[in-house]
DNA sequence: AAGTGGTCTAGACCACCAG
DNA sequence: TGGTGGTCTAGACCACTTT
């Protein structure tokens, strides 16, 4: 048996959540809290089977998915270990800029430029798959790391799906965090471009002339409808996107 | 039963490859070939179980992973369907520029600028985790879509791990394709930046002055060692990176 | 009611790694 | 040799969707 397992929360079979997800969350919590630091050996599948009284296939699925997500790595014949590398800003994760900044030891602050109801332009109507022009909420905000502007956020939100979006105070909660609290996206799309900022963007991000920006656009779907379309613009001098993956089987095509 | 299944290749139990992978590949081939177009309903899990004589859990794993990869989508109670959206250049896939161009209907051509053995600079020594400076292979090439330069590739390769790299003709096979044929990476790292190109890069990519580039750097590991470190530079005016994901459970943190 | 996918079980065999 | 993860099986129950 494994001493680490003494205080494991019980797994609920009354399934508010599938068991494999409960196991994933349990392991994630241990890792996030620092209780299991990088390199730490995890309990074996059999340990978990015994401690939680579930089937091995269920444990295996949980650990396999954590591997795919880069949180742990597994060595055949040896065991499972907390992944060495810290998490990067990743394109497949729905990254909350505040969490990202704070994880790197910075202080996040947001300044809301505007939060209003606007009428969708043809381009935005198309992007949000509205069928015809309709009112939308629009948020514009600058996110700072300390005193340094790091991201200009320009976001449209479908008011049918998120009616209370416009009432929020986005200087204390990021839009990403608010939206994540409201729904679980079932699909999203990212695009990354290099652009030259217009004058206003350059000033808001306090960039020197001629420097490029990294621009990430993200659309998020729920039940086949676009909930939000966000354009996130970063100063090229001060930001890069990164991701690191460990895989069982590479998805190459 | 399902008429689509008549001509299914048999699944080999003598396991050169796990069965769930054989099933994934089988479905991928049908989709890639266009035999199963977007929106097409797939055989149900039970159909596949019967046709291939495997267990349902195995079929389920194959289809679940294809869902995570965005190739199909599944609706509880309804069935599985080929995903609507074509594939994008994705940051989690090891993308071969030639395949990407040809998938979009273009013609790929590569011009090798140089392929030589060089001594690693301190920065590259660090990036490739060599411990101390050592000889490396270095490839520089431009990739064209038709007549339009689309990517400048600058790549270092560890000669201990890929001794024959320098003998290849990279005007007919891309480095990515060659390397993928030689080994299966078990880890990789991507970073994306917006930069201003130097004069040489600008000319090679035939860009107008002042325009930014999207720069992707990629490191690939095998057995804990860096095999290759590539810097891929794209003209910002003509290229964007994109990815779309369908998920069961979002990886948000 | 019938078909579908989502999940889970309790076994099993194997390949890999350490001592 | 014993522990580990990788895979597979043949069932099962359930929730969801359509007929």
Query: pLDDT per position in chain B (253 positions), as tens?
Result: 455 665 566 777 775 789 999 999 999 999 988 899 988 999 999 999 999 999 999 999 999 999 988 889 899 999 999 987 655 445 555 678 898 888 778 899 999 999 999 999 999 999 998 888 999 999 999 999 999 999 999 999 999 999 999 999 999 999 999 998 888 777 778 888 999 999 999 999 999 999 999 999 998 888 778 999 999 999 998 888 776 665 543 333 3
* Range list of H helices, B80-189: 97-103, 122-127, 175-182
Which value, in Å, is the radius of gyration of the alpha carbons in chain B?
21
Relative to beta strand B187-195, strand B241-246 is unpaired
CB B63 within 8 A of CB B74: yes
Q: Which of A172-181, A202-211, B218-227 has the highest mean pLDDT?
A: A202-211
Q: Answer for A44: CB within 7 Å of strand D.
A: yes
Interface residue B177 vs chain A (CB under 8 A) = no
For A117, A119, A182, A218, B86, the CA distances from A163, given in Å and listed in that order, are: 11, 15, 11, 20, 32
Whether residue A8 contacts residue A19, with contact meaning beta carbons closer than 8 Å, is answered with no
Phi, psi of B161 (to 5 degrees): -90, -30
* Partners of residue B28 in chain A, C-beta under 8 Å: 253
For B130-169, give one letter per residue: b (16+ CB within 10 A) or e.
beeeeebbbbbbbbbbeeebbbbbbbbbbeebbeebeebe
Buried b (16+ CB within 10 A) or exposed e, B208-234: eeebbbbbbbbbbbbeeebbbbbbbbb
Q: State residue A205's pLDDT score.
A: 97
Question: Rounded to an integer, what distance in angstroms lies between the CA atom of residue B178 and that of residue B170?
Answer: 9
Q: In this complex, is the C-beta atom of A240 within 8 Å of any C-beta atom belonging to chain B?
A: yes
Distance, CA of B202 to chain centre: 26
How far away is chain B from the Cα of A219, in angstroms, using its nearest Cα?
9
Asked if A15 is an interface residue toward chain B (Cβ–Cβ < 8 A), one would say: no
Q: How far apart are CA B73 and CA A250, in angstroms?
A: 20
CA B20 to C1' C12, whole Å: 18
8 Å CB contact of B92 and A243: yes
Chain B CA closest to residue A233 = B194
- What percent of chain A clears pLDDT 70, i.e. is strictly above it? 88
Mean pLDDT of chain A: 86
């Amino acid at each position: 048996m494994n001493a680490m397992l003494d205080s494991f929360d019980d797994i609920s079979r009354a399934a508010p959540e599938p068991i494999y997800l409960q196991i994933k969350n349990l392991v994630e919590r241990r890792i996030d809290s620092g209780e299991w630091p990088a390199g730490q050996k995890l309990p074996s599948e059999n340990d978990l089977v015994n401690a939680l009284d579930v089937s091995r296939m269920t444990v295996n699925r949980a650990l396999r998915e954590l591997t795919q997500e880069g949180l742990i790595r597994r060595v055949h014949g040896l065991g499972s270990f907390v992944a060495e590398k810290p998490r990067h800003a990743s394109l497949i994760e729905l990254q909350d800029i505040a969490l990202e900044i704070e994880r790197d030891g910075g202080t996040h602050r947001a300044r809301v430029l505007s939060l209003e109801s606007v009428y969708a332009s043809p381009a935005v109507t198309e992007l949000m798959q509205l069928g015809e022009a309709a009112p939308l909420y629009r948020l514009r905000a600058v996110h700072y790391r300390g005193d340094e502007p790091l991201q200009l956020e320009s976001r449209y939100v479908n008011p049918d799906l998120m009616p209370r979006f416009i009432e929020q105070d986005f200087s204390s909660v990021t839009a990403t965090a608010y939206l994540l609290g409201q729904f679980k996206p079932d699909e999203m799309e990212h695009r990354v471009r290099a652009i030259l900022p217009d004058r206003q963007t350059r000033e808001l991000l306090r960039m020197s002339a001629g420097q490029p920006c990294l621009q990430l656009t993200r659309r998020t779907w729920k039940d086949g409808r676009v909930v939000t379309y966000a354009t996130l613009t970063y100063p090229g001098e001060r930001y890069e996107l990164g991701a690191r993956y460990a895989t069982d089987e590479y998805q190459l095509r």
